[in-house]
Amino acid sequence: MWFPLLVVLGLLLLYRWYRQSLILDNLAGKYVFITGCDTGFGNILAKNLDRRGMRVLAACLRETGAENLKKETSSRLQTVILNVTDSESVSSAAKWVSSVVGEQGLWGLVNNAGVSVPCSPDEWLTKEDYSKVIDINLLGMIDVTINLLPFLRKARGRLVNMSSSVGRLTMTAGPYSLSKYAVESFSDSIRRQMKFFGVKVAIIEPGAFDTQITSVDATTGDLMRTWKNAPEEVKQSYGEDFYKNAIKAAEQVKHFVNKNVHLVPQAVEHALTAVHPWTRYSVGLDAKLIYLPLSYFPTFFTDFLLTLPQPKPAQVM
């Protein structure tokens, strides 16, 4: 009874594997614009695509990042300085892209630039803390996308937006998860609009990876800053022990992050080069086995599960 079902399931999985293994021809010479190439995923992706013979337009925040990247890549790769929170910088970069790609258009746009901190309890934060993250992770992404969409439409290319598993299930306090939920919404909306123009849109949802934006120093440093600046009444409500436990928890994260950072650029590469790219890429075992499944569970269950290990504030003990 079960054997025919297993055979059908096996054939479906085999077909799925075959379909996703199909890669486009004539990728060499196609232009791809990537934001946030100074370090991390963007830096690795730029090098990978350059080795494939694609023409990478790497946007870096700093001159040092651009210079270091050019030293490690071929003459095909070109760099531009870009601050995604500055509309004039975005507009200038778009004009530069137009002059480079010409009538060929832009095959790929990868919105990779982002920050993860602050991720402190919301009562420790200010509106400015939220604005900083949302400006980079969301509004900057939207600005870059809108400015470069005409070139993507010309090439009937690919748009790849860097989201996160916490854009499906809120696991961290602060503005990061909020910004990634919004990235998911924007990506879904633009995907449906661009379908008529032949532009495909993919969303990358990594789990916890060992990158600069998830470093222990960045996280603990920001916890120290936000705790120090929090109102006195808030400090009394949470208590010194809560703060110390938050620092310890941040320091322990380094034992659980995925060290294989190349998995994320590989997912982006597939989205840019596959005949049939996926709409969403959950990258990492934690993304596939924890974040994604839990996002479908009833709210009361996930609330119970995620608050269980958390330290309790002083005034509720």
167-185 pLDDT, tens digit per residue, is 999 988 889 999 999 999 9
Residue among 211, 239, 207, 284 nearest 39 (CA): 211
Give the active site residues: 176
Other Cβ atoms less than 10 A from the Cβ of 297: the count is 13
Q: Which class is domain 25-210+259-305?
A: alpha beta
* Sequence-distant (≥ 6) Cβ neighbours of residue 204 within 8 angstroms: 160, 161, 162, 163, 264, 267, 268, 271, 280, 281, 283
For 62-107, how does the pLDDT look when each residue is reduced to its tens digit (9 = 90+)?
Answer: 999 999 999 999 999 999 999 999 999 999 999 999 999 999 999 9
Nearest to 162 by CA among 218, 209, 221: 209
Rounded Cα distance between 317 and 311, Å, is: 10
Would you list the domain boundaries of the chain? 25-210+259-305
User: CB under 8 Å to 278, separation ≥6 — which residues?
Assistant: 20, 202, 270, 271
User: Looking up tokens 């809560």, which residue turns up?
Assistant: 242
Q: How many residues does the chain have?
A: 317
Q: Using an 8 Å Cβ cutoff, are 82 and 140 in contact?
A: no
For the chain, the C-alpha Rg in angstroms (whole number) is 21
Quote the CA–CA distance of 106 and 256 in Å, as a whole number: 37
Spatial separation of the C-alpha atoms in residues 208 and 291, rounded to whole Å:
10
3-state SS of the chain is: CHHHHHHHHHHHHHHHHHHHHCECCCCCCCEEEECCCCCHHHHHHHHHHHHCCCEEEEEECCHHHHHHHHHCCCCCCEEEECCCCCHHHHHHHHHHHHHHHHHHCCCEEEECCCCCCCCCCHHHCCHHHHHHHHHHHHHHHHHHHHHHHHHHHHHCCEEEEECCHHHCCCCCCCHHHHHHHHHHHHHHHHHHHHHHHCCEEEEEEECCECCHHHCHHHHHHHHHHHHHHCCHHHHHHHCHHHHHHHHHHHHHHHHCCECCCCHHHHHHHHHHHECCCCCEEEECHHHHHHHHHHCCCCHHHHHHHHHCCCCCCHHHC
Q: Can you give the pLDDT of all 317 residues of the chain as single tens digits?
A: 677 777 778 878 887 887 888 888 889 889 999 999 999 999 999 999 999 999 999 999 999 999 999 999 999 999 999 999 999 999 999 999 999 999 999 999 999 999 988 888 899 999 999 999 999 999 999 999 999 999 999 999 999 999 999 999 998 888 999 999 999 999 999 999 999 999 999 999 999 888 876 677 778 888 899 988 889 998 889 888 888 888 888 877 777 888 899 999 999 999 999 999 999 999 999 999 999 999 999 999 999 988 887 778 876 65
